[in-house]
Structure 1
Amino acid sequence: MNTIKLNTATIVSICLVLIFSMFAVVPNANAASTKLKVTATSLNIRTAPNTSSKVMTTVKKNTTLLKVKKSGNWYQVKYKNKTGWASAKYLKTVKTTVSTASTTSKIVTSKTDNLNIRKSNSINSKSLGKLNKGKTATYIQQKNGWVKIKTSSITGWVSATYVTISNKAKTTSPKITNAKKNLYFVVTANSLTVRSKPDSSSKFLAYVKKNESLLVSRIASNNWVEVTYQTGKKGWVSAKYGTQKVKEPTTSSITVVVPEETTYYYVTEPTGLTIRDNYSASAKSLGQEVPFETKVQILKQASNGWIYVNYDDIEGWINGSTYYGFASTKNITFTAEKPSKTKYFVMKSGTLNVRSLPTTAAPSLGKVSKGNYFKVLRVSNNNWVEVQYTSKQKGWISANTASSNITTKKPTTTVSDSVKGSLKGIKIVIDAGHGKQDNGASGNKVVEKTLNLKAAKEIQAAIEKVGGTVYMTRTNDDQFLTLDQRAAYAKQKGANAFISVHHNSASPSATGYESYYSSSAKVSSKKFAEAIHNGIKDAVEEEYPHYNDRKLRAMDFYVVRYNSVVSVLLELGFVSNSSDAKLVNTNAYRETVAKGVVNGLLSYYGRD
């Protein structure tokens, strides 16, 4: 009996030893894999750990390999699903620091526009998309100066330099209830964002302006209200930027207010403005026009931009859009006469604004600089001159500075607005996007920063060929300017306009060219951007009739939003599309685009 017990105990002990030894050789599944970086110019990976074995493949300097094990002076490594041997002499261990967090504990916010989201944590990695300034994404992990993020549609890596990481507060869905009947929300902010959900991070839908009265349909417990901002369209706005009150609905959501101080409207529309019986272009005409250059006091103002005035004893509404004139609390008066002799206004130095009326209170239509001259149409009593600024637009320039002079002798240099086919006297900044450490998008064997520079130089040559002056933000791929520096460059150079050149990246099926201007910029660039885009469109359609025109769009890219002059951002094709990448990397396409840009400039400045 004791013998049987002893044998049983011995068997059990042996089994336990075997079991523990089995677990001892199982590697930790969570152990970090060691990475090795190649230090030689090129390194052979062989089938065995000796120099006489067969070479499987050769890798270049700085290539990263995954360590399997070490044998003497050789490492067994993995590279592109292949396992082989490489000399340890030419490999060094990569020290990696990885920090991870719960996907719900942190958020990543972009500090810049057009931040590339890349496939891996390398500047040479393919761009999967962009993250604009102020936009957020979910934090996944951080590694060697890069942050892995997840947006609603993309998971990838962004440079840690251009983002901030913060703790994400735990949020609960707000309680939503139906609003009282006939509850209206009146906007008190100058401009208020309408979003898809009661949350400042939700999708942008539209802007509503000060004094607009919007019908409220639902109320959220986090101080947001759902409103009807267009016919049949609803969205959410923050309730702290308006007031709520129950009232009987009027004929529309438009509210009317009386200005707090005496305000005048100055008509700059050459054909004048029709007085109507209501604040709508479809309202009945009262048979009276407010003529060009007339000043009228604003008695009432509707939230849709129409104003109530009295002219020649007729009271009614006119369209008070900034397109047709401007409002000012200044009481501006002037007289103007045609010169008795033909005179010319000549810019000798510096830069001056061209304005809609002879006063600094009037909005700027553009700028003129050294070398420009114009025939004087009228001279005001405060020493401003009216000129034909473009073939379609007149404007006023101050003659009260040392930057200019007026002469009866026609200048010998042909730089006036009337000269067709010439951009002489016009100064343009061409911005080749990205540069140096910032490659931009990449794909199909092309890199955006290089494509941008080649296209920018072609545009530069085309502009200079017709007499224009060009300032480049960079002239090689080793130069780099921040977005702030790029946006300020035109002002530094006294330029008339700014053109930023880029190439796009998205899904492999995305194709075509597009252009962007900012609707939020202090300087209105829509007409300038339209002229440039239409010039490119006409030129491309002639040479490449099937290439996709993705149209002109409004988007607040930093370099156009914060520019001091008219500006446009061009996206000339998709490097993520194999056909586009092949096309945009040809001199013929770049020459076509440059031709289109010049034609657009000639059209905008009335020299076509």
Structure 2
Amino acid sequence: MNTKKLNAATIVSLCLVLVFSMFAVIPKAHASSTKLKVTASALNIRTAPSTSSKVITTVKKNTTLVKVKASGKWYQVKYKNKTGWASAKYLKTVKTTVSTASTTSKIVTSKTDNLNIRKSNSTNSTVLGKLNKGKTATYIQQKNGWVKIKTSSITGWVSATYVTVSTKKATTAKPKITNAKKNLYFVVTAKSLSVRSEPNSKSKLLAYVKKNESLLISRIASNDWVEVTYQTGKKGWVSTHYGTQKVKEPTTSSITVVVPKKTTYYYVTEPTGLTIRNSYSVNAKSLGQIVPFESKVQILKQASNGWIYVNYNDKKGWINGSTSYGFASTTNISFTAKKPSKTQYFVMRSGTLNVRSLPTTAAPSLGKASKGNYFKILRISNNNWVEVQYTSKQKGWISSNTTSSKITTKKPTTTVSDSVKGTLKGIKIVVDPGHGKQDNGASGNHVVEKTLNLKAAKAIQSAIEEVGGIVYMTRTTDNQFLTLDERAAYAKQKGANAFISVHHNSGPSSATGYESYYSTSAKVSSKKFADAIHDGIKDAIKEEYPNYKDRKLKAMDYYVVRYNSVVSVLLELGFVSNASDAKLVNSNDYRETVAKGVVNGLLSYYGRD
């Protein structure tokens, strides 16, 4: 055999093998399938594109078919496991919707308050900050029982024991919203949860709800948010990551009901009384009976969400046993009280005495009366306690069984509530610089909100003290931090008359101006107080900065004003997200102007101007 011919044949064979091999590994291309919908009441699918061909099957109107190819006025289609031809006249192309791209990331949620965020995955490493219960952070990695996270300001490690790691889907598409099943409730598991105007965390904040509150769900969004009724006639959205959903009222798996071991009474201190309902929820049906102010009822059963089962006027049902509306005690308190026959005054001669919600030491303290204070007596009880107007909106009882006080018919010259022109002597104000420590608040244009809040609050403190007022600061450095619960309770703890929370705003770069907020849901009405403070600030700013925008006084249930025991207001003094605002609010002149306005508002409200 000729060697050259053999080599040539071998080469040709190898080339053919390579060519076929190349074709073998090339995947078959698939065109995207087109879907067709049947428009006729019934449509025949045939063996060929002709009305004379055999009918394979008949499909009904709105059936979806897959298009294979076209031939004239006929389409070859697939239906289930059959392929055939159908008249194009009775088929309509279904438009396909391209779904919005989404990304998936993990979030870390703290199961406890004050969880340490450490520099490395060891209990011996440096603490960089804290993560409170219900707060979230971005997941980075997990190692040896520790989880690395990133917050808005800190990257560090937390113990995996005290967090949950979950998948969070982020998508630009609007969530699908559907109506909820009948009698579906959302039970809050976080200590405090935001209610928002839309099903996302960036929408307007409407209010806060507290742990164990049971809220009726009206609608459900596909992005893990639900619309709830948080007050009578008011609805908003909450994240389902911070609660559980239950059909009908929550069972003992979320709320437990117990009978007190000792005979326990509940004393109503809510002036409007408490409605008896058929279950332990504000959404439950009213039974048409009110337990009035200063009534005593025995607690027959108690739910873990604070509601109590009672019997009043032969009507058994549930009332809200919150400490905001009364108090529980094993002491059987009985008293009678009447107005004095002539005007009398209660005068503090020395020391301090508690002002209580009822004339007994078993009742909780509302605050304290100190040396130099005096009050007009409203009622005197049979056990020698006197009822006084403790603040402009709040009444309370003080014991007259001590040598620290006296009762007189002669009006004293100074008092907490007496009008002394141009001075706030005796008035106690809590000034609350918002945020602090690990919580920076908003930031932008080289300023951080927590620092601005503290500087403005200190200016307000100085201005109040200059006219004789007493100021209690919730924090005095940027390394201190109080929870919302602790801030809201601070005025009651200190026996203060009012509460002012200081903040700075954030929003679009074009947003500008100052505004103030009060709560319409708080036990103590703060509208007049907030009006006086905002008007004082407005007049002071108008004089020094006539073009700076007044964004008005607004009603909003921010936690620290909603759950406060005294008149309160929350101030937003400018936008850190606006370059001009940021420069203005970071100046001592502006802070002093605001402080002057606050003092003028206080003087006006307490009749000292």
Task: Give the structure-2-normalised TM-score.
Answer: 0.51
Structure 1 counterpart of 2:572: 571
Q: Distance in 2 between matches of 1:270 and 1:185?
A: 30
Structure 1 counterpart of 2:328: 328
Structure 2 counterpart of 1:536: 533
The answer as to 2:550 corresponding to 1:547 is: yes
Deviation of the 1:381 alpha carbon: 2.8
Q: Decide whether aligned partners of structure 1 residues 551 and 340 sit closer, same or farther in structure 2, where only a CA change above 3 A counts.
A: closer
Matched position secondary structure for 2:550: coil
Structure 1 counterpart of 2:510: 509
Q: Distance in 2 between matches of 1:588 and 1:192?
A: 37
1:54-106 per-residue CA deviation (whole Å, 9 max, x = no partner) reads xxxxxxxxxxxxxxxxxxxxxxxxxxxxxxxxxxxxxxxxxxxxxxxxx9688
Q: Decide whether aligned partners of structure 1 residues 467 and 213 sit closer, same or farther in structure 2, where only a CA change above 3 A counts.
A: closer
Q: Which residue identity does 2:417 align to in structure 1?
A: D
Q: Distance in 2 between matches of 1:452 and 1:268?
A: 35
Deviation of the 1:394 alpha carbon: 2.6
1:107-158 per-residue CA deviation (whole Å, 9 max, x = no partner) reads 5969779x9xxxxxxxxxxxxxx997752222569xxxxx99777xxxx6x2
1:270-319 per-residue CA deviation (whole Å, 9 max, x = no partner) reads 677899999999x9998x987654445678999998987544xx859998
Q: How does 1:272-311 map to 2 (within 5 A)?
A: 293-295=294-296, 310-311=312-313
Contact kept, 8 Å, 1:502 with 1:569, in 2: the verdict is yes
Deviation of the 1:333 alpha carbon: 0.6
Q: Decide whether aligned partners of structure 1 residues 442 and 183 sit closer, same or farther in structure 2, where only a CA change above 3 A counts.
A: closer
Q: Distance in 1 between matches of 2:535 and 2:473?
A: 25
Structure 1 counterpart of 2:137: 137
Once the two structures are overlaid, the 10-residue window that deviates more, 347-356 or 261-270, is 261-270
Q: How does 1:61-72 map to 2 (within 5 A)?
A: none
Q: Which residue identity does 2:424 align to in structure 1?
A: L
Q: How does 1:309-458 map to 2 (within 5 A)?
A: 310-311=312-313, 326=326, 328=328, 330=330, 331-339=332-340, 343-348=344-349, 351-400=352-401, 404-408=404-408, 410=410, 413-419=413-419, 422-431=423-432, 443-444=444-445, 451-452=452-453, 454-458=455-459
Q: Decide whether aligned partners of structure 1 residues 515 and 552 sit closer, same or farther in structure 2, where only a CA change above 3 A counts.
A: farther
Matched position secondary structure for 1:548: strand
Contact kept, 8 Å, 1:192 with 1:207, in 2: the verdict is yes
Gaps of 5+ in 1: 1-102, 116-129, 142-146, 248-254
Q: Decide whether aligned partners of structure 1 residues 246 and 501 sit closer, same or farther in structure 2, where only a CA change above 3 A counts.
A: closer
Q: Distance in 2 between matches of 1:207 and 1:449?
A: 24
Matched position secondary structure for 2:581: helix
Q: Which residue identity does 1:408 align to in structure 2?
A: T
Q: Decide whether aligned partners of structure 1 residues 461 and 409 sit closer, same or farther in structure 2, where only a CA change above 3 A counts.
A: farther
Structure 2 counterpart of 1:470: 471
Q: Distance in 1 between matches of 2:186 and 2:399?
A: 41
Contact kept, 8 Å, 2:517 with 2:570, in 1: the verdict is yes
Deviation of the 1:480 alpha carbon: 4.6
The answer as to 2:595 corresponding to 1:594 is: yes
Matched position secondary structure for 1:579: helix
Q: Decide whether aligned partners of structure 1 residues 229 and 304 sit closer, same or farther in structure 2, where only a CA change above 3 A counts.
A: farther
Deviation of the 1:397 alpha carbon: 1.7
1:400-433 per-residue CA deviation (whole Å, 9 max, x = no partner) reads 456x311427575512413265432123344556
Deviation of the 1:374 alpha carbon: 1.2
Q: Decide whether aligned partners of structure 1 residues 393 and 442 sit closer, same or farther in structure 2, where only a CA change above 3 A counts.
A: closer
Deviation of the 1:350 alpha carbon: 5.2
Contact kept, 8 Å, 1:300 with 1:308, in 2: the verdict is yes
Q: Distance in 1 between matches of 2:243 and 2:504?
A: 41
Q: Distance in 1 between matches of 2:300 and 2:493?
A: 42
Q: Which residue identity does 1:334 align to in structure 2?
A: F
Contact kept, 8 Å, 2:105 with 2:167, in 1: the verdict is no
Q: Which residue identity does 1:482 align to in structure 2?
A: Q
The answer as to 2:485 corresponding to 1:482 is: no
Matched position secondary structure for 1:375: strand
Matched position secondary structure for 1:467: coil
1:362-393 per-residue CA deviation (whole Å, 9 max, x = no partner) reads 45544433432112333323332111223444
Contact kept, 8 Å, 2:419 with 2:606, in 1: the verdict is no
Q: Distance in 1 between matches of 2:503 and 2:573?
A: 6
Q: Decide whether aligned partners of structure 1 residues 345 and 277 sit closer, same or farther in structure 2, where only a CA change above 3 A counts.
A: same
Q: Distance in 2 between matches of 1:467 and 1:449?
A: 27
Structure 2 counterpart of 1:580: 581
Q: Distance in 1 between matches of 2:482 and 2:431?
A: 15
Q: Distance in 2 between matches of 1:240 and 1:460?
A: 39
Q: Which residue identity does 2:457 align to in structure 1?
A: A
Contact kept, 8 Å, 2:517 with 2:553, in 1: the verdict is no
Matched position secondary structure for 1:483: coil
Deviation of the 1:267 alpha carbon: 5.0
Contact kept, 8 Å, 1:273 with 1:318, in 2: the verdict is no
1:520-566 per-residue CA deviation (whole Å, 9 max, x = no partner) reads xxxx9764765554333223444268422473544457xx8999987
Q: Distance in 2 between matches of 1:491 and 1:400?
A: 23
Matched position secondary structure for 1:137: strand
Once the two structures are overlaid, the 10-residue window that deviates more, 428-437 or 404-413, is 428-437
Q: Distance in 1 between matches of 2:498 and 2:193?
A: 30
Q: Decide whether aligned partners of structure 1 residues 315 and 135 sit closer, same or farther in structure 2, where only a CA change above 3 A counts.
A: closer
Q: Distance in 2 between matches of 1:547 and 1:445?
A: 24
Q: How does 1:163-174 map to 2 (within 5 A)?
A: 164=158
Once the two structures are overlaid, the 10-residue window that deviates more, 291-300 or 412-421, is 291-300
Q: Decide whether aligned partners of structure 1 residues 528 and 368 sit closer, same or farther in structure 2, where only a CA change above 3 A counts.
A: farther
Q: How does 1:187-206 map to 2 (within 5 A)?
A: none
Q: Which residue identity does 1:483 align to in structure 2?
A: F
Q: Decide whether aligned partners of structure 1 residues 532 and 342 sit closer, same or farther in structure 2, where only a CA change above 3 A counts.
A: closer
Matched position secondary structure for 1:390: coil
Q: Distance in 2 between matches of 1:108 and 1:246?
A: 26
Q: Decide whether aligned partners of structure 1 residues 315 and 535 sit closer, same or farther in structure 2, where only a CA change above 3 A counts.
A: same
Q: Distance in 2 between matches of 1:271 and 1:436?
A: 40
Query: Percent same amino acid at aligned positions?
Result: 55
Matched position secondary structure for 1:535: helix
Matched position secondary structure for 1:359: coil
Task: Give the structure-1-normalised TM-score.
Answer: 0.51
Q: Decide whether aligned partners of structure 1 residues 425 and 322 sit closer, same or farther in structure 2, where only a CA change above 3 A counts.
A: same
Contact kept, 8 Å, 1:417 with 1:605, in 2: the verdict is yes
Q: Decide whether aligned partners of structure 1 residues 397 and 596 sit closer, same or farther in structure 2, where only a CA change above 3 A counts.
A: farther
Deviation of the 1:443 alpha carbon: 4.6
Gaps of 5+ in 2: 1-103, 118-129, 142-146, 170-177
- Aligned positions, number: 449
Q: Which residue identity does 1:328 align to in structure 2?
A: A
Contact kept, 8 Å, 2:188 with 2:244, in 1: the verdict is yes
Q: Distance in 1 between matches of 2:552 and 2:311?
A: 44
Contact kept, 8 Å, 1:193 with 1:237, in 2: the verdict is no
Contact kept, 8 Å, 2:460 with 2:598, in 1: the verdict is yes
Structure 1 counterpart of 2:460: 459
